[in-house]
């Protein structure tokens, strides 16, 4: 597997701006860009297997770009933690797309990345560089099941300290077993980019995101979540992109009922489900990778 290059984009905010990192695969001059956005506590290297497969199949015709959303990975941390919200992330993606200037844009968003995708794709009168041709929503929709919000809240911000990558991988698996079956090597590959040195002079490791992500998340109530659903449905109903909805059959975040509703309204998404997987598919398994390649590169 080849390695991506790391690039940066400067993004505006009320506190003087911040820098967002992104990982770029394939031909840097290709006009066809596939933008892959990760979940809440993850980072852009989650898509290594999928990005490599896209480049292998499309050759020099494609660029795959995988940002570390602000507060994660190699990106800056925000001075105001309350700004860790979808509107901030969507604005950052507009800054990134303005820098990339794709001729053809496809978007794959896992969980939070899908929410950002809906926020962007659902806006009217998008600039040409931000018009999404094909949209993949990975195990997320306008309705986020409350029990999933509660589950995520139990671990978000609990950074941990680990003596080795293997110890970290074992600990993280406790919260990520719903991702579905992975070999030990596959899970280690997904774990390594999640870690950084603790910074105390030891060899210990901790998670590679800002623990302050938990602060705005903790303010979410069932009432505010319901209000957010109405806005997300409004955005979803305005999406013009050809849309594929991916769902883990055992997902506790995207219900079967919501997924079915998404096939009937708005862009009328095509639905594909993977058995033995909850929230969320990682696009490491061959059948998951094939589903995305078939949709984006047909």
Q: Tens digit of pLDDT for each residue in 114-142?
A: 999 999 999 999 999 999 999 999 999 99
Q: Tens digit of pLDDT for each residue in 45-103?
A: 999 999 999 999 999 999 999 999 999 999 999 999 999 999 999 999 999 999 999 99
Residue 186: inside a domain, yes or no? no
Of the pLDDT bands very low, low, confident and very high (cuts 50, 70, 90), residue 1 is low
Residue 94: inside a domain, yes or no? yes
Q: Tens digit of pLDDT for each residue in 233-281?
A: 999 999 999 999 999 999 999 999 999 999 999 999 999 999 999 999 9
Of the pLDDT bands very low, low, confident and very high (cuts 50, 70, 90), residue 174 is confident
Residue 287: inside a domain, yes or no? yes
Spatial neighbors of 23 by CB under 8 A, at least 6 apart, are 4, 5, 6, 7, 44, 45, 51, 65, 66, 67, 68
Residue scoring higher pLDDT (4 or 298): 4
Residue 65: inside a domain, yes or no? yes
Q: What percent of the chain has pLDDT over 90?
A: 95
Contact 214, 77 (CB under 8 A): no
Residue 48: inside a domain, yes or no? yes
Cα 209 to Cα 231: distance, rounded to the nearest angstrom? 27
Mean of pLDDT values over 191-207: 95
Cα 215 to Cα 199: distance, rounded to the nearest angstrom? 23
Spatial neighbors of 63 by CB under 8 A, at least 6 apart, are 24, 25, 26, 27, 28, 29, 30, 32, 33, 34, 100, 102
Residue 271: inside a domain, yes or no? yes
The pLDDT of residue 298: 82
Number of domain units in the chain: 1
Instruction: Output the pTM of the full model.
Output: 0.97
Residue 193: inside a domain, yes or no? no
Structural domain boundaries enclosing 273: 5-145+225-296
The pLDDT of residue 104: 98
Tokens at residue 293, please?
A: 């390649």
Cα 109 to Cα 136: distance, rounded to the nearest angstrom? 6
* Residue 26's CATH number: 3.40.50.1820
Task: Give 11's Cβ-side CA count (13 Å radius).
Answer: 28
Residue 197: inside a domain, yes or no? no
Tokens at residue 259, please?
A: 């997924």
The pLDDT of residue 96: 98
> Residue 42, Cβ neighbours under 10 Å: how many?
26
């Amino acid at each position: 597997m080849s390695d991506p290059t790391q690039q940066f984009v400067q993004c505006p905010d009320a506190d003087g701006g911040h820098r967002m990192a992104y990982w770029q695969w394939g031909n840097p001059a290709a006009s066809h860009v596939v933008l892959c956005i990760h979940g809440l506590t993850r980072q852009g290297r989650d898509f290594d297997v999928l990005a490599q497969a896209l480049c292998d199949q499309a050759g020099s015709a494609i660029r795959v770009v995988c940002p570390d959303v602000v507060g994660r990975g190699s990106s800056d941390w925000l001075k105001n933690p309350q700004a860790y919200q979808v509107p901030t992330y969507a604005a950052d993606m507009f800054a990134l797309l303005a820098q990339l200037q794709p001729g053809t844009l496809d978007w794959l968003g896992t969980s939070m990345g899908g929410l950002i995708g809906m926020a962007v794709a659902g806006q009217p009168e998008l600039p040409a560089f931000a018009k999404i041709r094909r949209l993949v929503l990975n195990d997320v929709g306008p309705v986020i099941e409350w029990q999933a919000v509660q589950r995520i809240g139990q671990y978000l911000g609990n950074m941990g300290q680990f003596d080795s990558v293997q110890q970290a991988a074992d600990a993280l698996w406790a919260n990520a077993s719903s991702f579905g079956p992975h070999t030990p090597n596959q899970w280690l590959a997904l774990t390594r980019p999640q870690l950084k040195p603790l910074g105390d002079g030891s060899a210990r490791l901790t998670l590679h995101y800002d623990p302050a992500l938990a602060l705005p998340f903790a303010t979410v109530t069932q009432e505010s979540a319901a209000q957010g659903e109405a806005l997300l449905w409004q955005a979803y109903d305005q999406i013009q992109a050809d849309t594929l909805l991916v769902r883990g059959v055992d997902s506790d975040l995207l219900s079967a009922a919501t997924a079915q509703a998404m096939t009937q309204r708005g862009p009328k998404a095509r639905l594909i489900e993977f058995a033995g997987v909850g929230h969320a598919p990682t696009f490491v398994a061959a059948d998951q990778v094939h589903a995305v390649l078939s949709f984006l590169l047909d």
